[in-house]
Chain A
Amino acid sequence: MRRDRGNAAGIAMVLVLAWLVVYPVLVVVGEAADGTALRAFVSRPAEWHALWASIWISLASVGLAAIIGIPLAFLFEWFDFPGRRLLGALVALPVVLPPLVGVIAFLFLYGESGLVARAVQGGLGLEHAPWRLQGPGAILLVHAYSMYAYFYLLTRAGLARLDGALLEAAQSLGAGRRATFVRVTLPLLKPSLAGAALLTFMTALGSFSAPYVFGGGFRVMPTQIVATKLNGDLPLAMVETVALCAVAIAGLLGVGLAEAGQHGALIALGKGAAPRRRTVRGHGARTLAAVAGWALALTLLLPHLTLVLVSLVPYATWTTQALPPVLSLGNYRRLFREAERLGPLLNSLWMAAASTAGAVALALVAGWLVVRRRVATGRLLEGLLVLPWALPGTVFAIALATAFSVSRPFALRWVLVGTGVILPLAYLVRNLPLTGRAVLAGYRQLDPALDEAAASLGAGRRATFLRVTLPLLGPALAAGASLAFVTALGDFVSSIVLYTYDTRPIAMEILSSLRLNELGIAAAFGVVLMALSGLVLGIGARR
């Protein structure tokens, strides 16, 4: 009886999630099956260029991110030097900052009128800016800079799990440092590296901010889709969306196949294995590591420091000088005083909060059904929760824009586009994987005996949930929710497709400020976004 009710709830939950996550995409696929649009897509070289660009840019991003991220991980995990802990945390920062913030920070630092270009121009007495930050090179630069953190974090995690005794065993069997690295360390890190590669590939494939701002005439699939949609050629946009989906799925399958080739359990056998060793070398090496670490961290954080600097420059005061002549807090004052600027800030805040609350609620129910009630549809529920992660943001934006632009209540479609509901809904869908994964992991770590203990002490189901389950899920929930909130707060890709003037979020305001050459305002928004993100993540990470 209880089991049946649980399964009924499981099926209901599957239907809700499927309506949110799968149905809109299916609508797009249906509309893409349009002969004219398909022919147009196949016959236009521009489409093939964009598709190819998406693929090679993503692959190159993986390579560059690996080149930066993996050595960094080894540096911070295996060497001890002054400031290691602080720097180690700072270096991971780009992964949690909104992509658009990173992009404009790069613009202000390395762009043609950025700090570095001005310095070079002034230093060499050039008449024009020495370079333009545009095209695939610029996109790759930004990608490498913001995505190395995946390799860094996952490699570090892999190294931290590595059993030091395995390395010693290799040495005692005659393997030198290099042989130990090649024959033991690298094979054991393979799952971490594959995970990082997949994460980077998917992020780069869905990346919108960098190609949008730096692409110029160079289009990748996400920017191509949005451009096509803005041109009003909806059927073609659908076909493009489906093509992008196909690449994403191919990427997933590729890594899946590579992983399936090897036996699953790469975890060391001994529990409580020896702590991994931290190589502390001589004085000279220590100093070298410290200098390298600080230099790297500074380089990586320089764009964000530049953003802070630009945010202090009042409108039209910085013309040809290498450094801004006037600094003031004027931009921040304008940001909070002028209604049309404060509006987007408040919009972003409430939409992020609402979407996070929704995503948390859905994840809690799904997690409870999957882990505690062990409903028959458990695997399916888990798959639906993480599906939005597997598809680029543009795909969902287009899917929601398509599915909810007509009123067909019997097909479960309503007109939501143009209302205040659609953006929070889009954020919610994008956030489901973040909250879902956190809640599922949290639930799995909970000992079911705790529920039974609470029950045996007289607590009802509600009291057990409020007094035992929720407090214990707290840390995982806070981490997932804060990440979801920050993602929604800084969202650009869904917003540009779905926003209305009344619900325009921070990202759109940053973009329009850039267009009006209000660089200081754009930077101030970026700094506020950064500060809010840092604050929320800091709260979320606290135990």
Chain B
Amino acid sequence: MTAYLEVVGATKRFGETRAVDQVSFQLERGEVLALLGPSGSGKTTVLRLLAGFETPDAGRVVVEGDDVTAVSPARRRFGMVFQHYALFPHLDVGENVGFGLRGRADAATRVARALELVDLGGFERRLVHELSGGQQQRVALARALAIEPRVLLLDEPLSNLDPSLRERTRRELRHLIARLDITTIFVTHEQEEAFDLGHRVAVLHEGRLEQLATAEDLYERPATLFVAGFVGRANVLRGAAARAFGGKDGHVAVIRPERLRFADGGVAGVVRERRYIGATALYLVESDAGDRLEVLAEPDAAAVGDRVYLETTRVISLAEPEVPR
């Protein structure tokens, strides 16, 4: 089975810094990929390379077997939803959505259909600055979808929405993407968003693709120490501490807080802090050897000052990175 969208060795330098460094991946038709990473990790640049706003210094972008690396954004037919939506302030909603349909006989029907898709049917003559943030976001989405793009690109699609609105919008977005069966790539710095929307998640760090996998694989089987630390909470142990929990010699042991539990025997320590979260509590335990460990357990499992013993149910062993980060 050949890939629908393929990025091969994409590299982009800005001056001395490599914003994107040898990034390669393949997507199937209809797949949704989340680009996840801290700010400055290059995720937005990858999206802009795909959209054609940046030209890679090396590498290729291929869609449906068609090399579009040198194709201008205008001819690429990749729909893009911008972080601040970039709605044209001098045009009304209908004109915004119909911008990419100029000269087509069925433009009006397509505009109406695109607006229906995002639940804004009949909004054609409204002015964009009269709309709420959520409505603006949906207009931007309708505008990108109206051209029937080969790939949908979303730059932090939910970051400008109120937290109360974010979850609902995310659900609607997930359903819409699934219904249209459109190949989608979106940028986010929020793990929950990436896990919820993305079929697979690509974690970027300093321009490099650290790992591309399903959410579960990223969490349970991180490929690098960076991924282990960036995705979810992690106790990172080395040397004797790692060995005490059964880690492999010469490797770094990563233990998720929920994989530690209070037991009758094991590594001894004292509870220094307890943070009550609701269903659970997060305990900070200082072992006798001086290591600090986060433990996720039931709210009444221990109290500050208690002497406790820790066991683990799962250790992730990772090679020490070549350059310490």
Contacts and interface: CB of A to CB of B under 8 A. Distances in A.
Interface stretch (B76-84, B219-227, B266-274): B76-84
A538 interface: no
B297 to A, nearest CB: 42
B136 interface: yes
Contact of A270 (B77, B84, B144): B84
Contacts of A184: 88
A271 B84 contact: yes
Most chain A C-beta atoms within 10 Å of own C-beta, residue among B52, B73, B128: B73
A265 B129 contact: yes
B89 A175 contact: no
Contacts, number: 94
Contacts of B73: 168, 171-172
A183 B74 CA distance: 14
A236 B133 CA distance: 61
Contacts of B82: 165, 168-169, 270, 274
Nearest to A173: B100
Nearest to B155: A165
Interface string A246-273: 0000000000000000110111111111
A269 B102 CA distance: 23
A173 B127 contact: no
Given A168-B51, A173-B147, A176-B72, A269 B84 contact: yes
Interface in B80-136: 80, 82-90, 99-100, 102, 127-129, 136
B325 interface: no
Contacts of A168: 51, 53, 73, 80, 82, 86
Interface residues of A, number: 31
Given A168-B73, A171-B74, A187 B90 contact: yes
Nearest to B89: A266
Interface string A171-197: 111111001100110011010000000
B85 A175 contact: no
A273 B84 contact: yes
B138 to A, nearest CB: 14
A490 to B, nearest CB: 39
B89 A270 contact: no
Nearest to B127: A263
Contact of B78 (A172, A179, A180): A172
B89 A265 contact: yes
A184 B147 CA distance: 18
Nearest to B136: A269
A172 B143 CA distance: 10
A176 B90 CA distance: 19
Nearest to B82: A165
Interface in A260-314: 262-263, 265-274
Given A269-B89, A274-B84, A176 B74 contact: yes
A509 interface: no
B106 to A, nearest CB: 15
B99 A175 contact: yes
Contacts of B83: 165, 270, 274
B74 A188 contact: no
Contacts of B80: 168-169, 172
Nearest to B133: A269
A273 to B, nearest CB: 5
B168 interface: no
A183 B87 contact: no
Contact of B90 (A172, A175, A262, A271): A262
B9 to A, nearest CB: 24
Contacts of A53: none
A176 B103 CA distance: 14
Contacts of A269: 84-85, 87, 89, 128-129, 136
Contacts of A176: 72, 74
B147 A174 contact: yes
A146 to B, nearest CB: 31
B179 interface: no
A265 B128 CA distance: 10
A141 B75 CA distance: 44
B293 to A, nearest CB: 40
Given A172-B79, A174-B75, A269-B128, A166 B86 contact: yes
A268 B90 CA distance: 9
A272 B84 CA distance: 9
A98 B78 CA distance: 53
B278 to A, nearest CB: 34
A260 to B, nearest CB: 15
A240 interface: no
B160 interface: yes
A170 interface: yes
Given A168-B86, A274-B83, 15 more contacts: A163-B84, A168-B53, A168-B73, A169-B143, A170-B99, A171-B52, A172-B78, A172-B80, A172-B144, A175-B74, A183-B99, A263-B127, A270-B85, A271-B84, A272-B84
6 nearest interchain CB pairs? A270-B84, A173-B100, A165-B86, A169-B86, A171-B73, A172-B80
17 contacts: A163-B84, A165-B86, A168-B51, A168-B53, A169-B86, A169-B88, A169-B143, A171-B74, A173-B99, A174-B147, A188-B89, A265-B127, A265-B129, A266-B89, A270-B160, A272-B84, A274-B83
